[in-house]
Amino acid sequence: MQQTDIKNQIWRNLDRLRADPSFRGCRDTRLLELIGATLGVEKLDSLFQSTELISKLANAYSIVAPIYVLKFIEKLLEAESKKSIFDPWLTASSPVFYIQADDVFGTCIDSTEFETIKSLFEEKSQNIKLDDTLDELSKTTQGFDLVLSFPPFGRRMQDVNGEKSPFDFTTTLLLKCGERLAQDGKLIFLVPNSFLWNEKGKEALNKQGLFVDAVFSIPSGAFSPMTSIQLHLILISKQNKEKTFVAEISQDDITNKTILQNFKNQKQGRAIQLGCLVDFLEFESLNALIAEKEMQELVKRIGYPPTLLTDILLTDISESINVLKGDNADEVEHLANSIYLPKIGSSPVVASLSELKIQPKNYYQIQLDETKANAIYVANYFNTPIGKKSRESLEAGVVIPRILKSQLSKCVLFLPDLPTQAEVIEVDSKIQQFTLRLDELRRNLWKQPKSYNSISKELKTINQEEKLENWIDELPFPISSILWRYYATKDNSKKIEHLFHFFEGFSEFLSMLMLSALVQDKEFYKAESHNWVNNDEKFQDWYLRATFGNWNALTSKLSKAIRKYVLDKDSDRKDYCKSLFGNPTEAFLSMITSKSIVRILGEVADLRNKWKGHGGITSEEENNQRVLTLEQKLNEFRTYIADAFEDTRILSPTTSSFEDGIFTFNAKELIGARTPFNEITVKSLIPLDRKKLYLRNSGQTKPLELLPFIKFVEASNAIYFYTSIESKDVRWISYHFEKEAELKQPVDDQLFKVFDLLKP
């Protein structure tokens, strides 16, 4: 039975129970869904005969693994002949109950949970004890062939036999189980990121003769809403291996099969997520490895040699790096050739106290040796993509990531020699002067409008103007094709029409990008969609006849929600949100979370309604004024989009091949307004459908499938935007393809599935 059918069956039964006063309601159906998917719908139906049991299962506060994680564990254990599995922390959702296991034994600490387990798994509960698990482990002399457990996170440590453990509960429990592990035994634990950062914990494992054979990372959000942090399955044995295998489990069975094959053969995968071999003592996370690879690509572009920050300090690290105090920059003494690097957050690194964006106590003052580095250059370097990645790599801490002073000794920069630094700063200075002069000319223009002729002449002497045409060529085809029509025409009435189409198309395009990312995690979307789905009855079914205003309302709510996630102090939640978009650039994230873009879209919609309401024929002078107004909005809009799409591309896949867990696709890059499109080769961890469009960020291996609000007709290189449902047909509009500007096609199920996402 499909997962959707199981859910529907659960909710039908729950609705029936609501009339029973002893039923405590339903907080979460994930455990019930797991039972239905693994133990069968007959088992599920039998459970609904007991209102008390269903109440417990529907309100359980336990870690429920996704089906694909359980399947992965089963495949991982296939090579093991041992079918007897020990779990020191048994709950009703423990994986030992949902995989093939002849004999299960272990400890349950909670009496209510214990009774639930006995009711659910009568045949498997014979060897389960109700006891304090650490006390029981201290008393037992039994050896374990196979240990599999999902222990709790953040649980406070207690004394063990009167002694205080130096570790958290998970690590303490793991070490206790390790004491009883057979020489050829295996231990599999679910652990959070903090386990991988704990150097003392790693040392304790080695000291006890326990070695981590593999770390299988699970995508962030897999266990939401229980937790959004990234979790890992670690496989431990007593067999010492030089390297630890690390990979990222996928929802795709083919990918997981490749990972397990690479693990068996101790082979590097064709992508980091498919497996690589690392030194466990140095390993912190798979994301760090991927970031390091991205860093290497950025380094290639820069082409300068690596330099340790400690090598360009004026003296040693203790004297050259000052931890600032206080809230007032006036109380800080500026030291020559110093930079100010934020300890927390993403505020820019600066070379002057007057440029501080946050309080001084949140900065390090770092004095550089002027014979090796220029503070202005180094400050600007830290604000580039590679500089920001370097700062991120230094951050530590679970709740609020911060850069520790000790971490700065590891900081690596890629700098040119001092004369080149000076030349770059000189060019930057000229650009700043140019910008300041333009600002002056603009101010003068509005102070003395009569001087517009002389100002216009001066502008012509400045040969630095970036043409709009160049910017259009960097935008995705769905929106650049509209803007090109505006750019290419001289007719003001047509310019107005094309500019309105551009802003409306951009709003729909932006909503599509954000929805496409968020819907990848169905549970996350379900839990959070109240933040953007409109519950107002007057907007019910608005998508059946979508308007500019409706798209703007959706874009605004989506942007606000994503802005909240990206700015969340919980770094795991921020990283998870970024991962849904395929880990795009900061410029891209800045665009989709921009309040200013939403504001401008709203202002343009108001203008269209106002001018439409005015009615009648407009004069050429009036049209000219309207064009100027919209062009002002476009210029402002352009500053907020900037280079957001520089490393982000819309792809239309054509042919493909599959080898060693990697799909190789030929695809058209739908960028710019002119055809034929550039054809590229793309490496992907997931299959791509030729009938669909995808968003891909440079260097990433998981393109984002776009929802079907936009249609690309390859035969004519035409883009169509969804507008409405008319009778039994879908109406599509092209804003650039005059030959066939409108399509009417039968409604397809895929589009209605998308509409379901927009229902309260």
pLDDT digits (tens, 9 = 90+) for 189-213: 999 888 888 889 999 999 999 999 9
pLDDT tens, residue by residue, 400-418: 678 888 889 889 999 999 8
Longest dimension (CA), the chain: 96
For strand 395-396 and strand 402-403, is the pairing parallel, antiparallel, or unpaired? antiparallel
The SS3 call for residue 551 is: helix
Distances (CA, A) of 572 to 60, 195, 291: 24, 15, 15
Encode pLDDT of 515-570 as tens digits.
Answer: 999 998 888 888 889 999 987 777 788 999 999 999 999 999 999 999 988 887 66
Torsion of CA 14, 19, 22, 25, to 10 degrees: 40
Burial class (CB in 10 A: 0-12, 13-18, 19+), 467: exposed
Give the pLDDT band (50/70/90) at residue 220: confident
Assign 742 a pLDDT band (cuts: 50, 70, 90). Answer: very high
Question: Which residue, among 309, 318, 322, has the nearest Cα to 394 in the 3D structure?
Answer: 309
What pLDDT is stored for residue 246 in this prediction?
96
Residue 439, pLDDT score: 81
Q: Which two tokens stand for residue 376?
A: 């202005």
pLDDT of residue 83: 64
- Is the pLDDT at 463 greater than 60, yes or no? no
Q: Which amino acid is at 136?
A: E
The β-bridge relationship of strands 211-218 and 244-248 is parallel
Beta pairing class for 662-669 and 648-659: antiparallel
What is the average per-residue pLDDT within 436-451? Answer: 84
> What is the four-CA torsion angle of 384, 388, 389, 393, rounded to 10 degrees?
150
- Report the distance separating Cα 84 and Cα 90, nearest Å: 15
Give the pLDDT confidence score for residue 479 in this predicted structure.
94
Distance CA 509, CA 501 (A): 12
Residue 2: pLDDT over 80: no
% helix / strand / coil in the chain, to the nearest 5? 50, 20, 35
Smallest CA-to-CA distance from 707 within 720, 694, 719, 696 is with 694
Structure-model confidence comparison of residues 264 and 336, the more confident one: 264
DSSP code, position 476: B
pLDDT of residue 157: 63
Does the global pTM surpass 0.85? Answer: no
SS3 69: helix
Question: Distance (Å, rounded) from C-alpha 152 to C-alpha 156?
Answer: 10
H or E stretch covering 38: helix 30-39
Q: Per-residue pLDDT for 571 more than 60? A: yes
User: Rounded to 5 degrees, what are φ and ψ at 220?
Assistant: -55, 140
Residue 464 is predicted with a pLDDT of 43
List the structure tokens of 394: 């230094």
User: pLDDT tens digits for 707-736?
Assistant: 999 999 988 999 999 999 988 899 999 999
Q: The tokens of 283 are what? A: 């390993």
Report phi then psi at 482, rounded to 5.
Answer: -75, -45
User: Given a cut of 90, is residue 383 above it in pLDDT?
Assistant: yes
pLDDT over 90, % of the chain: 38
Question: Do 51 and 231 touch, CB atoms closer than 8 A?
Answer: no
pLDDT digits (tens, 9 = 90+) for 18-71: 777 777 777 778 888 888 888 888 888 888 888 878 877 777 777 888 899 999
CATH code for the part of the protein at 305-415: 3.90.220
For residue 301, pLDDT over 60 is answered with yes
The matching CATH number, chosen from 3.40.50.150, 3.10.450.50, 3.40.720.10, 3.40.50.300, for 81-292 is 3.40.50.150
pLDDT reading at 465 higher than 60? no
Mean pLDDT of the chain: 87
Q: Which of 299-313, 443-457, 489-503, 607-621 has the highest mean pLDDT?
A: 489-503
On the 0-12 / 13-18 / 19+ scale of CB atoms within 10 A, 668 is buried
- What is the spatial distance between Cα 510 and Cα 532, in angstroms, rounded to a whole number? 14
